[in-house]
């Protein structure tokens, strides 16, 4: 996965920034939005942000 890929164009949030938020304890969409700003302007990226949160949570929780 390209960690430099911009997921949220409005706030210029990358995959890597979402991963950092999840690794820092943000586990819900709302927590990731608060930490990064992703999905808080137009909302077009919400589905992708939610998918990334699930992916990074699973990655973090897998031994």
pTM: 0.93
**pLDDT, tens digit (0-9, with 9 covering 90-100), for 11-25:** 999 999 999 999 999
**Domain spanning 6-61: CATH 1.10.10.1100:** yes
For the chain, give the percent of residues with pLDDT over 90.
94
DSSP-derived letter for residue 42 is: S
Q: What is the dihedral of CA 22, 25, 54, 40, to 10 degrees?
A: -70
Taking the C-alpha atoms of residue 20 and residue 36, their distance in angstroms, rounded to an integer, is 9
> How do the domains of the chain map onto residue ranges?
6-61
Judge whether 14 and 3 are in contact, CB under 8 Å: yes
pLDDT of residue 47: 97
């Amino acid at each position: 996965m390209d960690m430099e890929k911009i997921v949220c164009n409005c706030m210029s949030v990358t995959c890597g920034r979402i991963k950092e938020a999840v690794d820092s304890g943000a586990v819900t969409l709302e927590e990731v939005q608060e930490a990064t700003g992703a999905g808080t302007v137009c909302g077009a990226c919400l589905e992708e942000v939610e998918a990334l949160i699930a992916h990074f949570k699973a990655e973090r929780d897998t031994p």
